[in-house]
Amino acid sequence: MNLPQIIAGPCVIESQELLERVAEEIVGINNRLGTEIIFKASFDKANRTSLHSYRGVGMERGLRMLSDIGSKYGLKTLTDIHEAWQAEPVGEVVEILQIPAFLCRQTDLLVAAARTGKVVNIKKAQFLSGEDMRYPYQKAVESGAKEVWLTERGNIYGYNNLVVDFRNIADMRNIASTVVMDCTHSVQRPGAAGGKTGGNREFVPAMALAAKAFGANGYFFEVHPDPDNALSDGPNMLYLSDLEAVIKSLL
């Protein structure tokens, strides 16, 4: 059986304790289900709604923490970069570099990520179609990327809302061999919670199953043991305790 690529972890690095707790659960799920979940956490959230929102622990400390998680638990790791100069040091630590949706057209960022020789996961901008992702993909491939994934995360729908056009998944499968459904960011309500992003985590399991029906072969879940008290993206993050059941439904 060809297992899908599964990415899971907290939105942002809050503490070593949080990373350890999530990693332990991921290792348990991998052992029980035979999966190879990739551990995700951001060292910096550079696009928070408010200047006063928590951003993370910074690149230097964050990379040390991600390196520790990878080596201690035997997990592949993924994190995002926001500026081209970050690609080289981040690529020395993680297996997958992620390009945030708002930045997916930034040529210098894509080229720098590709030149690390690591897998590059490009998230589709909220203002682009699946077909439009041919050009960010080509930028990365032509710059020497080892492998390029594309990720669907919804499109802007009026103010403070997103909608998922699942046809984008099929369109992107015509471009890239791996197309990931970001099941948690796609249920965001951007900026809709008084200077913070809101969301509807109850729709996450259905988003995953709908994406599977349209041909997705990867799934992205931000998870937290207590999302209501998370420091970023709490309303759309999945409870860590619910992750295994959602993954089972996809297998």
Taking only the tens place, the pLDDT of each residue in 90-107 is: 999 999 999 999 999 999
Q: Determine the CATH number of domain 5-250.
A: 3.20.20.70
| pLDDT for position 181 | 98
Residue 45 to residue 194: CA distance in whole angstroms: 18
Q: Within 10 A of 241 (CB to CB), how many other CB atoms are there?
A: 10
Diameter over CA atoms, the chain = 46
| pLDDT for position 190 | 73
Domain ranges in the chain are: 5-250
Q: What's the whole-model pTM score?
A: 0.94
Residue 179 to residue 149: CA distance in whole angstroms: 6
Low-confidence ranges of the chain (pLDDT < 50): none
| pLDDT for position 194 | 54
> What does DSSP assign to residue 115?
T
Tens digit of each residue's pLDDT (9 = 90 or more) over 179-221: 999 999 889 777 655 555 677 889 999 999 999 999 999 999 9
